[in-house]
Chains A and B, each alone.
Chain A
Amino acid sequence: MFPAPASDSYGKSQVMKARVTVTLKTGILDPQGKAIEGALRSLGVEGVASVRQGKVFDIEIEGGDPKKAEALLKEAADKLLANTVIENYRVEVVG
């Protein structure tokens, strides 16, 4: 009854799943991580030494060339996803 939305990956020739993980560089103060750390402690979750908050981007990439995909993800991270002044990133093509 309902047509599949245009953005759905069904029916496309080939799509690879990928992930970009952005984390704060060592030494950069992370007040949000600190607050989460404190909250975990007050919830009684024992044994947490520290928390650093980051971001994960799950990205679908057209085509089937993992090398190309990796280059594209790096470009995306450098141009927008990460601010390399304060953040590091890691890219993975999951397949």
Chain B
Amino acid sequence: MKAAVLVFPGINRERDMARTLKLVSGTAPNMVWHAEHELPAGTDLVVVPGGFSYGDYLRCGAIAARSPVMDAVRTFAAKGGLVLGVCNGFQILCEAGLLPGVLMRNENLRFICRDVYLKVERSDTPFTRGYNAGQVIRVPVAHGEGNYIADGETIARLEGEGRVIFRYASPDGMIDPNWNHNGAINAIAGIISERGNVLGMMPHPENHVEEAIGRTDGRGLFAGIAEALEKAA
């Protein structure tokens, strides 16, 4: 795995992400500053980490999405390269037009920082091959704007094409408004692009990868990506 983790002013989860990538794949990622016009040669995974790029000014992710490095990411994604966006990274990918829809203020207006349960909808993507379809994983969220919406046509297309990859769920995998903490439409927590090579998700799988933390549910995602890349190489 030759990962590139993008770094924007105000991002604060890039080191968690780098630590996890090294832990799971054995190789430390390149940290790529937002002003770069190119990704390091041989990059096979771009990760847009969480945090508060540009202090969430204007709209979450809006300014970062227009950075020079995002043009390089767009080119990389257009060639089929794998792109993972977590939390603010998901917001940035939506603002950049790499994924449809938008992350709105949480329905209850609160910043929510706690563990949630996710139902993994599909295991046949490069991101989720480390899980079984229908499996429930427990991972943390930390966001004030995670309430996913898109127009009706887009939602119908996402659902019809099986592009909703993670949904907020109860511990036994039921989709229930009581377990949809931010009010996202159809309890959507993560989606992939039409081509299936760009994943955006609000929760932080990178924070549940070590026994010392108490849970390792997020490990499957990174191990799966590493495997997919090895297979493709």
Contacts and interface: CB of A to CB of B under 8 A. Distances in A.
Contacts of A81: 58
B36 interface: no
Interface string A2-41: 0000000000000000000000000011011001000000
B105 interface: yes
Interface size class of A (residues with CB under 8 A): 10 to 19
A85 B59 CA distance: 13
A80 interface: yes
Contacts of A83: 59, 62, 95, 102
Contacts of B149: 28-29, 86
Given A83-B102, A85-B150, A86-B102, A31 B59 contact: no
A81 B62 CA distance: 9
Interface in B88-120: 95, 100-102, 104-109
B230 interface: no
Contacts of B63: 80
Contact of A31 (B66, B95, B109, B151): B109
A2 B146 CA distance: 47
A29 B106 CA distance: 10
A85 to B, nearest CB: 5
A67 interface: no
Given A32-B109, A35-B109, 19 more contacts: A28-B104, A29-B107, A29-B183, A31-B104, A31-B105, A31-B108, A31-B109, A32-B105, A79-B66, A80-B58, A80-B62, A80-B66, A83-B62, A83-B95, A85-B101, A85-B102, A85-B151, A86-B102, A86-B104
Interface of A: 28-29, 31-32, 35, 79-81, 83, 85-86
